[in-house]
A and B are shown apart, each in its own frame.
Chain A
Amino acid sequence: MKTNFLKLSFLALVLFTASCSSDDNDNTIPAVETIKVSNLNAPQTGGQGQPVGGEFTKFSFSENKVVTTDKWDVAFRGTTIIVNGGAKVGINDEPERTGSGAISIVSNTFASVTTFPAATTFAQDGAAVYAIPTGSGNGWYTYDSTTHIISPIAGKVFVVKTHDGKYAKFEILSYYKDAPAVPTGTSLSPFYTFNFAYQANSTTTF
């Protein structure tokens, strides 16, 4: 009897394990899809010596669109990018942070960023601090004071903890309309083109 029980238990275990693994195979988390967003317009008012203002253009990675609700993840205005997490930086026309978003800046190619960075590397906006630092060479772009061209720094991938605690990664490709390979003084800005991938599942990889 004892032996039978052991045998049965063993059989059950084998069956269970087998069924588990077959379930796993069916439920593999699909590889995240890289989506390109083109010409996201993020105008600002003022500038050139005048106070900068205007509504931020808010973007949601899960909805893959510009939103006007509080459920945004990152928002753009001119060259400034903010995240839906932390506190107000202290600039004009700034939206409330209602989410728990944060950003980690990773140096790599977009495709090679496959695991989430350590939690300690994520930063939020705060008084006079940006999660993505502003200014030429500090955050996502460089500014050429001769040609006045804004160029996204290559290999800067931003891993975003979204407003509701999911993860996405994005890389900015261009600041100009229709993403010309070589922008000129007449190229229209600010029109963001960026790649992003959104991980809807609870996992630690893209």
Chain B
Amino acid sequence: MKFKITFFAAVLFCQISFAQEKDSTTVNKLSEVTVTTGTRTERVLSSLPLPMSIITSEQIVKSGVTRLNEILNEQTGIILIPDESGFEGIQMQGLDAAYTMVLIDGVPLVGRTSGVLDLSRVSVGNIERIEIVKGASSALYGSEAMGGVINVITKRPVKDMFSGSLSYRYATFNTNDISTNVLWKKKKFAANLFANFYSTDGYDLDESTTLQNVEKFNNYTIQPKFYYDFSQNLKLIVGNRFYNQKMNNAAVIESENYNGDAKENEWNSQIKLEHKWNSKIYSEYELYATNYKNDSFLNDENDVLFEEAYYNQWLFRPELRTTFSIANDKLTTGVGLNHETLDRTYFDHNVNFNSQYVFVQYDYNPTEKWNLLAGFRYDNHSEYASQFSPKLAVNYKLSNNFSLKSSVGYGYKAPDFRQLYFDFTNPSVGYTVLGYNVAEDRLNQFEEQDQLLSRVAGISFDKPLEAESSINVNFGGFYKRNKLKIDVNTFYNAIDNLIDTQVVAQKNNGQNIFSYSNYNKIFTYGIEYNTTYSFTKEFVLSFGYQYLIAKDKSVVDNFEEYQYIRNSDLQTIKINKSDYFGLYNRSKHTANIKLAYTIPKIKTNVNLRVFYRSKYGMFDTNGNQILDQYDTFVKDYFLTNLSISKDLTEKVMLQAGANNVFNFTDPNQINNLAGRQLFARVQYNF
């Protein structure tokens, strides 16, 4: 452990000492990048007062990965990890997957399992860039954007062209990935057509069990996008995405084997008009509809249907945005509404959410040096209290190379359908979980049926369940000089009204009835550091590091309730407050080193990335219901990914490499880490 930290420190030091040397050879200027997610207008990344990063299509291609979860997992401050239920999701600034909104071309994906969005649904074959905004972004995006926003932006042909690519990749576990992407533009018409087929046998970390960690599945994505320019000032965009996945469904319940299928279907449709009224006023009219469907079944050994489950979510969202340019400043306004429905197993009936919202943002540039971003969003919702989400961000440019930035924002996450309407009784154990809005009626029913022993005193469902809310503060700086680029951000998030389950009643069978409630407060803080140093044009080294503390405020405030633990002899001992480690599934240190080396002579590019995650705990192991230093932890680990690309001709690229080169696995504790995956890819560009 000590060695590992020393190693990182050494690399960091090297970078700084190299940076201090004045190099007279060719300066590899890091070009300016334009982004849209942070403000919904085009802005230069480096001058933006928000913590934001991007992943370019070049980085994606060179890394050799194929799905969105894989490429995001390689970014500093982002980690894709399974939660307690085993669903892999994104953790940003120490916040769970439920608090990050994921957009494709500015419109959100739906279809979450226990709040977690499966990002392996998104293929990266047609991506221009991925923009990542960290910290509360509810002032523009509303609920779910409490921890941040990830916007996947697909390629758009800008001049008359016909080009495309065809790619085939084969990897360990019999994984096949076939992609084709066509970009075409002729005068007023343009199109981006993308298709992908992916199949894998899955993997099994423990051969002695009947079930695999990931069962065999295949999926395809078809994503046609059309553009028509009525004029320079009026442009139409029609984008569609279809996704279909079929997976083996298997389960072992009370030592009986069950088998079946699980199907996912997703459809996203976006119609957008870009309207430039004049040089000062620009509007976008957008209609978005999406449907996520999931159907699964299990048959027993005699092929008799044992269990069926379905999930069918719709989102319909018209939105209108207008930006007014006033001298050096920009005023952006937006108005829209959400109509959401969900029909699923364990819901009594099909449920609806309706909300209307407005947002305003003023991008103020009083002098060359100062940039101020102030805005708010107001959401009026059918199921919970209205939300007002303000945000203020400032960027101060000390020089062309050095700027400081800070932002303060309010974030919120509305109670989701499950937290309000779930009605589930575990068939084998007999416990029940009830959504907040249906709990009172169902408890009365249980009582009438004589199934209730007692209700927990002091719990009522009179007041509506409140949205979770957060205050987010960021302070950081950006430094760029010659071959060096440094980006630092410190962050703080305080989340209030966190929704969690609690026992509300006891049944005659001795089991509990759970429901949701606004439960506790947590806070996270830390620092994120990113640096890139280009030794030469051909050799670029980068280092990223995040330090994170995430704790439950009620544990910190009432530590007396958690100070006794049980040692391995089962005896109780008393511990100190300083022994409290923090929330589950959070590592204090995460870091990465990336090395990109190009050998122009043989047109070869070597891309090596090493990732580190320090120890973390998944649950309490010594009886005090919190994670403390004496608990059993998942050990820290390194992962190494390598890819080597070679341009055989102008048009043909060959690629080979390995993810998880050193075959690190921890079958008992980390279920989403498959072993080494070798891969080879051939890509033909036309």
Contact = CB atoms under 8 A, between A and B. Distances in A.
Contact of B573 (A109, A128, A137, A138): A109
Interface in A105-160: 107-110, 112, 128, 134-138, 142, 144-146, 148, 151-156
Contact of A145 (B431, B573, B622): B431
Contacts of B430: 47-49
Contacts of A135: 503, 506, 512
Contact of A46 (B428, B509, B625): B509
Given A109-B572, A152-B623, A171-B572, A51 B509 contact: yes
**Main SS of chain B's interface residues?**
loop
B220 to A, nearest CB: 33
17 contacts: A47-B510, A50-B509, A52-B510, A109-B564, A112-B574, A135-B503, A135-B512, A137-B503, A142-B625, A145-B429, A154-B566, A154-B572, A155-B563, A156-B564, A173-B570, A174-B570, A181-B569
A48 B572 contact: no
Interface residues of A, number: 40
8 shortest interchain CB distances as A-B pairs: A155-B564, A154-B623, A154-B564, A173-B570, A154-B566, A49-B430, A109-B572, A154-B572
A182 to B, nearest CB: 7
Interface string B561-580: 10111101111111000000
Contacts of B503: 135-138
A193 interface: yes
B84 interface: yes
Interface of B: 84-85, 426-431, 453-454, 503, 506, 508-510, 512, 560-561, 563-566, 568-574, 619, 621-625
Contacts of A152: 566, 623
A193 B570 contact: yes
Residue of B430, B454, B560, B619 most packed against chain A (CB within 10 A):
B454
Interface string A13-48: 000000000000000000000000000000000111
B625 A153 contact: yes
A160 to B, nearest CB: 17
Contacts of A181: 568-570
A174 B569 CA distance: 11
B574 A109 contact: yes
A142 B619 CA distance: 12
Interface of A: 46-52, 78-80, 91, 107-110, 112, 128, 134-138, 142, 144-146, 148, 151-156, 171, 173-174, 179, 181-182, 193
A137 B623 CA distance: 10
**Main SS of chain A's interface residues?**
loop
Nearest to A49: B430
A153 B624 CA distance: 6
Contacts of A49: 427, 430, 509
Nearest to B455: A128
A107 B509 contact: no
Contacts of A107: 560-561, 564
Contacts of A144: 619
Contacts of A148: 429
Contacts of B560: 107
A134 B573 contact: no
B633 to A, nearest CB: 14
A183 B619 CA distance: 14
Residue of A137, A142, A154, A156 most packed against chain B (CB within 10 A):
A154
Contacts of A51: 508-509
Nearest to B513: A135
B209 to A, nearest CB: 12
Contacts of B570: 173-174, 179, 181, 193
A155 B510 contact: no
Residue of B564, B565, B572 most packed against chain A (CB within 10 A):
B572
Contacts of B85: 146
Nearest to B508: A51
Nearest to B565: A154
A146 B564 contact: no
Contacts of A155: 563-565, 572, 574, 623-624
Given A107-B564, A134-B510, A174-B570, 10 more contacts: A47-B430, A48-B428, A50-B509, A109-B572, A112-B574, A135-B506, A154-B564, A154-B622, A181-B568, A193-B570
Contacts of B622: 154
A107 B625 CA distance: 14
Contacts of B625: 137, 142, 153
Given A46-B509, A49-B509, A110 B429 contact: no
Contact of A79 (B429, B510, B619): B510
A33 B126 CA distance: 74
Nearest to B84: A146
Contacts of B569: 181
B514 to A, nearest CB: 9
B659 to A, nearest CB: 29
A47 B622 CA distance: 27
Contacts of B508: 51-52
A142 B431 CA distance: 14
Contacts of A142: 623, 625
